[in-house]
Structure 1
């Protein structure tokens, strides 16, 4: 797996990451969503450098100019519900993309044991597409893998890019072991570890709750 750790070098990205972690800033739900959207935009810009381009002429009021256009056929797929704010950031930059939405949540058998349940899927064909699969938190890696498997009947993509705001080393290792070698992982920050409940330390808490409000537990 190709890992792109964008937070290794300081940029405004790290400023936004710091704000979504801050328990005082987190009290402003709208700002949390906006910062997650901004992070998605920055990740889109960095990812765009690896895409394919074609030259086409553009007519201006005074003539024509050969210009570069993205030639990849992109589908943005977000894991509900935490991925929605990140999805908006990706869509702001790849505005002509098709969209896919899929649900995945932890069904707990105990405080430390759970399984990933995938229930809802709305997707176009992924055959030959460039798929951007977004989920803000990469903890154990099980959600990404479960969703990746659930999308297989939709067609074989040309390439797959996973995008996550904060990741744990254990989750990255799990995906490296279980996903194809040519998969790309784009991550803004890599944290210290998982705790015994499978949550990222220091992390930021539950991204879905912070963006959209608390939910009843399954």
Structure 2
């Protein structure tokens, strides 16, 4: 797996990461969603550099222009519900992309800190031969991303898989490396070192879904 860690270099992305983590700022849900969306736009721009392009000619009011256009058929898949702002950011740039939505959530098992990943909903076009971008803002243990990959196998084999994430843990990055195709590319804004006993990223930012859309009842 190729990993692009954007926070390893100086760029405007640090401003958006800082605001996402800051408790005093993240209480503004609209701003929180917009900052994730902005990071999605930056990730989309970086991903675009690796795509296939073809020649495109068009008529301006003055002459024929010979340019380029993206040749890849792109499908953006977001993991509900936290992935929606990130999905929007990617879609702002890849506005011709097809869209996939999937649910993947933690279901508590025997003890407070044990859980399994449950996938209950999937709406997707064919992925056969297309460029798939998996969008999930938090890459903690990596189990959700692997569960999503397994569920998507019935939709066809993509030509290429990109993973777009905002904050991840080293453990989660290493986990998906073992389960995704070797030519998968991970685009991630920031990588933190630790997970706590409940499998949440530290320092992280908290629950991205709750911060973006409000708290939920557990079931």
Give aligned pairs, total: 218
Pairing 1:5-154 to 2, within 5 Å after superposition: 5-109=5-109, 110-154=111-155
Query: How far apart, CA to CA, are the structure 1 residues paired with 2:142 and 2:124?
Result: 21
Q: CA deviation at 1:112?
A: 1.1
State the partner residue of 1:199. Answer: 200
Distance in 1, matches of 2:76 and 2:196, equals 30
- Would you identify which runs of 4 or more consecutive aligned residues in structure 1 move more than 2 Å? none
The alpha carbon displacement at 1:56 in A equals 1.1
User: SS state of the match for residue 173, structure 1?
Assistant: helix
Structure-2 separation of matches of 1:186 and 1:203:
17
**SS of equivalent residue, structure 1 residue 151:** helix
The answer for unaligned runs of 5 or more in structure 1 is: none
2:126, 2:147 → 1: CA distance? 18
Structure 2 residue ranges without an equivalent (≥5): none
Residue matched to 1:179: 180
Residue by residue over 1:122-150, the C-alpha shift from the partner in whole angstroms, topping out at 9 and shown as x without a partner, is 00000001000000000000000000000
Tell me the C-alpha RMSD between the 2 structures. Answer: 0.6
- Cα shift at 1:191: 0.5
Q: Following the alignment from structure 2 to structure 1, what is the Cα–Cα distance between the partners of residues 126 and 40?
A: 23
Distance in 2 separating the partners of 1:153 and 1:42: 30
Partners of 1:22 and 1:208 lie apart in 2 by 16
Give CA deviations for 1:138-178 in whole Å, capped at 9, x if unaligned: 00000000000000000000000011100100001111111
Aligned counterpart, 1:169 = 170
How much does 1:180 deviate? 1.2
What is the rounded CA distance, in whole Å, between the counterparts of 2:157 and 2:50 in structure 1? 20
